[in-house]
Amino acid sequence: MTISSSPPDPSSLWKPNRKASKYVQRVVVWIFGAFALVSVATTFGIIMSLMLETINFFKTVPIWRFLTDTQWTPLFSNPQYGILVLFSATFLTAIIAISVALPLGLFSAIYLSEYAPPQLRKWLKPALEILAGVPTVVFGYFALLLVTPFLQFFIPNLGGFNALSAGLVLGVSITPLVASLSEDAIYAVPESLQKGAYALGCTKREAIVGVILPSALSGIVASCILAISRALGETMIVTLAAGQNPNLTLNPLVPIMTMTAYIVQVSLGDTPAGSIAFLSIFAVGMTLFIITLIFNIFSFWFVRTFREKYE
Amino acid sequence: MTTSNPQSFERESSWNIDQATFLKALRQRYTFDKVFATLALLAVVFSLFVLAVLLIDVFIDGIGRVNWSFLTSFPSRRPAEAGLVSALVGTVWVMVLVALITFPVGVGAGVFLEEFISDNWFARAIEINISNLAAVPSIIYGLLGLQVFVRVMFPITQGRSILSGALTLSLLVLPIVIIATRESLRAVPGSIRQAGFALGATRWQVVREHVLPLAMPGVLTGVILALSRAIGETAPLITIGALTYIPFLPELSLKGLQSPFTVLPIQIFNWVSRPQADFYSLAAGGIIVLMVVLLLMNATAIYLRNRFQK
Amino acid sequence: MISDSMNQTLTEAALRAQNVFVYYGSTLAVRDVTLDIPKNKITAFIGPSGCGKSTILRCFNRTNDLISGARVEGKITFHGRDLYAKGVDPVEVRRRIGMVFQKPNPFPKSIYENIAFGARINGYQGNMDELVEQSLRSAAIWDEVKDKLKESGLSLSGGQQQRLCIARAIAIEPEIILMDEPCSALDPISTLKVEELMQQLKERYTIVIVTHNMQQASRVSDKTAFFNAEATDKGGKVGYLVEYDDTSTIFSNPKQEYTRDYVSGRFG
């Protein structure tokens, strides 16, 4: 800056370092881009780690025996790995769970969105979120130590471990998921449809059952599918309350072992890496991953295909 | 067309239904309405009733156990002497690490996806990928952690360590943070960005100075929700081999990261799965400690969100 | 001026509003409306936005009940019976007084189900196929949809959707059809079709239409009510009825200065 009688040249006060700003931005974009790629790497990592060990597993146990055997006896001298045994158990608990969660969750969503006064709603929603946030190990405790003894009061031949109690509690644990996703779907229905229903002489229930729920159907079905997928992959409740007995049965009163419970059982033991039992948890994990992936894709596809476009 | 009875709305109609029948049916319809509304209310009441029973049951079973020695003793074979200090400290270690990992990575990924790449195939692919990851069962993340962090990265993590556990849980809850970040960024009005650009700022300067501060309460809510999910997770940590009997505390140094560990839910699981009923009350006591931590975290999240919405 | 117009009305009144005030919460939205809706005629409500014409329309089938805090004072009679009297059921009222909305709002069901739905819930005992066909024919849309009754109502064009909504309204055989700016979301050709349809429908139904479009009011209606809004002390707006008369009178020889200014396009 030169000293002169005239005021200083204003441009000398401005020294934007545009090059540096651009450089900083470029570095930031690269770092953040790498962070975004972590999610892609996670998917890749999941698929790779499941696949490699699953392939090793199938080198010893032929895949068709895995899919068709009706026994799960990894500790026998002549071990059999019939995934149907674990799958039926997983399926059974999930079915029980969704038959609790669908009515409870859907009716809760209807109450919250259509009936609850705004003041009450402000309290009910966080309360349901607390229910959603209860760790599953706590639900497991509840199922094993309170619900099962309670049910044994009515069903004397109910086992200490059983699919019924695990499934019921699992259902309660996924109810908030069904409720909140269904409520979102109900909210997305334009108010004009509700008004249209009332203008035809509908009562409130008729407007809800006849117009609002059918209009929200794609979202409700999607919430239901996602809830089933969550129930299939849930671990602690079924491990604690449903037992560790690989039974091929759909009887909800006896102990069973789900896919997730098997993975926990092997993980808790001292199974050497590379042994066939160790490899088997990856094969079971792969099966579970594929099943839940199919459910998720189906739910995604369902919403895409059946969502009504309202202008 | 005139009506014979001015007190009713009746008129001739091709509908073969008369006014009396209609009104009778209408009364019945209203009865169904009442039943329906009652069922809806009962569904909510029942869900919350179960929550209340659960909390009360745990409280009654476990409150007698929650005292200073329970919080400061190591686990033991003898129920009377057992405590959960190693699980509590392990949980704190893991949560701090998860927060340190997920906050920068999740927020960075969210900013990248929302602010820096336009709506192209790459952004959409990552978006679909993230929503799919959010629905992958947590135990699958355990298998991932077992392979990648415990085995492949053994030289860094020393196997079944706090670091392996924290990395596994971080991957598990990362989608929550990314989705929350993107939603809060989306809620910041575009005019703020344009005002920044109009002053000659780069995109990063605008995001750092104007957009992120506005989105921060929403981002923090997302991080806390992610942590409260992580704190209760049991299955993935069992799978990577978190131990259940840890009679020592990790060293307060980088070396501590490579130490074996246990956390509250695993300690609870261990106590519940013992056959001796004496351990059940320990489990209930552990649940009380876990739930208190969790409720505090959720309360913070709700508080932040309410402030954010104003 | 209101009594003048009532004297000219020799036909029977289908609806009669007497000193109707509408409040939303504690704010007055419309004050002191008194008018008779003649039977089997088309009555148009015109006026600038915020003048309460839609609010009054909604009072006629008690859809204002659905807005929390809405309150109606005064008397609206239908067949001599007060619509807001105790013991009068809004469902019963709406079943007799149908409504067509500003934006076409077909249900996301099949075209057939859109028509059958209202009839079924209201206990229709006759042949449903016949009723559906008859209603679609009355709404002048049968030829366009007869081959695709199973398709979604949302697959139709905007104008067709609106005629489907009219068919849906007349399927439950109301006496009165309220139309809240039914053409404002439609293109000119669809608008023309709906206007033609209204002329056919008035032989069997009484129609009340709210419109922003003065040309439309003058084209289709027999009677016209002009509403205006005035500022209140509290800074809000309250609507009131300025003038109600035969449409030709309102547009060619209105008695009120405001009406003259409005219909000649000087404000609004």
Best probe of the A interface among C117, C135, C166, C168, by most A CBs < 10 A, is C117
**pLDDT the model gives residue C11:** 62
Pairing of strands C223-231, C237-246: antiparallel
What confidence tens digit (pLDDT) does each residue in A160-206 have?
A: 899 999 999 999 999 999 999 999 999 999 999 999 999 999 999 99
Using DSSP, state whether C198 is helix, strand or coil: helix
Residue A81 bridge partners (DSSP):
A72
- Domain membership of residue B285 (yes or no) is yes
Q: What is the structure's pLDDT at C223?
A: 94
| Same domain? B211 vs B272 | yes
Query: Could you tell me which residues come within 8 angstroms of residue A291 by beta carbon, excluding any fewer than 6 positions away?
Result: A232
Nearest by CB to B143, from A111, A116, A285: name it.
A285
Residue B98 lies in a domain: yes
For chain B, give the mean pLDDT. 86
* Residues of the domain holding A279: 83-306
Residues 6 or more apart in contact with residue C145 via CB below 8 angstroms: C111, C136, C151, C156, C160, C164
- What count of CB pairs under 8 Å joins A to B? 258
Helix ranges (H only) for C172-268 are 188-201, 214-220, 247-252, 257-263
Please tell me whether residues A136 and A194 are part of one structural domain: yes
Q: Which of A16, A179, A263 sits opposite B239 (nearest CB)?
A: A263
Instruction: Provide mean pLDDT across the span B106-133.
Output: 87
CB contact under 8 A, B7 and C81: yes
Whole-number CA gyration radius for chain A: 27
How far is C258 from chain B, CA to nearest CA, in Å? 37
Determine the structural domain holding residue B212 and report its residue range: 68-309
Q: Does A308 touch chain C (CB under 8 A)?
A: yes
> Averaging pLDDT over each range in B142-146, B191-195, B246-250, C235-239, which range is the top one?
B142-146
Higher pLDDT pick, B189 / B105: B105
Percent of chain B with pLDDT over 90: 41
Q: What is the rounded CA–CA span in Å between residue B158 and residue C14?
A: 87
Confidence of residue A310 (pLDDT cuts 50, 70, 90): low
Give the class (CATH, top level) of C2-108+175-263: alpha beta
For chain C (268 residues), the mean pLDDT of every run of 10, in chain order, is 45 87 90 92 91 92 86 90 88 91 92 93 89 92 93 92 94 92 90 91 93 91 92 84 92 90 80
Give the domain CATH number at A162: 1.10.3720.10
> Do A89 and A150 share a structural domain?
yes
- Render pLDDT for B58-107 as a digit per residue (tens, 0 to 9): 999 988 888 888 888 888 878 777 888 889 999 999 999 999 999 999 99
Of the ranges A22-26, B141-145, C63-67, C124-128, which is most confident? B141-145
Q: At residue B254, does pLDDT exceed 80?
A: no
Contacts of A195 in chain C (CB under 8 A): 63, 66, 101, 105
What is this model's ipTM? 0.89
In a shared domain, residues B43 and B79: no
Shared domain check, B161 and B22: no
Residue with tokens 């519940």: B272
**Cβ–Cβ below 8 Å for A199 and C91:** no
B34 in the same domain as B106: no
Whether residues B151 and B239 share a domain: the answer is: yes
pLDDT above 80 for B251: no
Helix axes B162-187, B121-133, angle to 10 degrees: 130
In a domain, A281, yes or no: yes
* Contact between A200 and C117 using a beta-carbon 8 Å cutoff: yes
- Report yes or no on A159 lying in a domain: yes
Among candidate residues B152, B151, B109, B144, the one with its CA nearest the CA of residue B129? B109
Give the per-residue pLDDT at B15.
Answer: 60
Mean pLDDT across B129-144: 92
Q: How many CB pairs under 8 A join A and C?
A: 67
* Mean of the per-residue pLDDT values of chain A: 90
DSSP-derived 3-state class of residue A59: helix
Question: To probe the interface with A, which of B173, B245, B269, B298 has the most A CB atoms within 10 Å?
Answer: B269
CB A267 within 8 A of CB A251: no
Tell me the two tokens of residue C251.
Answer: 């547009």
CATH number at residue B139: 1.10.3720.10
Task: Select from C260, C257, C255, C253 the least CA-distant residue to C1.
Answer: C255
Residue A57, pLDDT above cutoff 80: yes
Phi, psi of B13 (to 5 degrees): -155, 150
pLDDT of residue B14: 55
> Which residue in the block uniquely carries the two structure tokens 């590379």?
A274
In a shared domain, residues B206 and B300? yes
In this complex, is the C-beta atom of B32 within 8 Å of any C-beta atom belonging to chain C?
no
Pairwise CA distance, residues C112 & C124, whole Å:
15
Same domain, A220 and A106: yes
CB contact under 8 A, A230 and B135: yes
Regarding whether A27 and A148 lie in a shared domain, the answer is: no
Are residues A49 and A187 located together in one domain of the fold?
no
Task: Provide residues of C within 8 Å CB-CB of chain A.
Answer: 61, 63, 66, 91-92, 94-95, 98-99, 101, 103, 105-109, 117-118, 121-122, 152, 154, 165, 168-169, 172
Q: Spell out the SS3 assignment of C70-137.
A: EEEEEEEEECCEECCCCCCCHHHHHHHEEEECCCCCCCCCEHHHHHHHHHHHCCCCCCHHHHHHHHHH
* Domain count within chain B: 2
- Contact partners of A by the rule of 3+ C-beta pairs under 8 A? B, C
Query: How far apart, in Å, are the Cα atoms of A175 and each of A98, A212, A228?
Result: 8, 20, 11
Residue B212 with chain A: CB contacts under 8 Å: none
Task: Please report the sign of the dihedral spanned by the C-alpha atoms of residue A168, residue A171, residue A173, residue A179.
Answer: negative
pLDDT band (50, 70, 90) for residue B3: very low
Looking at the partner chain, which of B2, B21, B26 has a beta carbon nearest the beta carbon of C89?
B26
Task: State residue B133 phi and psi, 5-degree precision.
Answer: -60, -35
Residues C181 and C210 sit within 8 Å (Cβ to Cβ): yes
CA distance B173 to B101: 10
Question: Do residues B122 and B245 both lie within one domain?
Answer: yes
Residue A112 falls inside a structural domain:
yes
C88: phi then psi, degrees, rounded to nearest 5: -85, 125
Q: Give the pLDDT band of residue B201 (cuts 50, 70, 90).
A: confident
User: Is residue B33 over pLDDT 90?
Assistant: yes
* Rounded average pLDDT over A58-74: 87
Please check whether residues B215 and B143 belong to one and the same domain. Answer: yes
Q: Is residue B1 part of a domain?
A: no
The answer as to whether A1 is a domain residue is: no
Q: How many domains does chain A have?
A: 2
Percent of chain A whose predicted confidence (pLDDT) is above 90: 66
Q: Are residues A56 and A130 in the same domain?
A: no
CA A186 to chain C, closest CA, distance in angstroms equals 14
- C interface mutation test: which of B7, B8, B9, B24 has the most C CBs within 10 A? B9
Which residues of chain C have a CB within 8 Å of the CB of A310? 108, 154
Q: Please check whether residue A205 touches C, CB under 8 A.
A: no
CA distance C209 to C217: 8
In a domain, B213, yes or no: yes
Are residues B241 and B165 both part of a single domain?
yes
* pLDDT for residue B17 is more than 70: no
Averaged over B178-188, what is the pLDDT?
91
Assigned token pair, A193:
């449809």
Distance from CA of C119 to the nearest CA of B (A): 9
| pLDDT for position C104 | 92
Task: Sort B272 into a burial class: Cβ within 10 Å, 0-12 / 13-18 / 19+.
Answer: buried
pTM: 0.87
Q: Are residues A40 and A152 in the same domain?
A: no
- Degrees, nearest 5: CA angle C192-C195-C198: 155
B139 & B53 share domain: no
Among B139, B206, B292, the residue to mutate for chain A (most A Cβ within 10 A): B139
- The residue of chain C with its CA nearest to that of B19 is C92
Q: What angle do CA A77, A78, A81 make, to 5 degrees?
A: 120
Residue C244 has, within 13 A of its CA and on its CB side, a CA count of 23
- Within a domain: A4: no
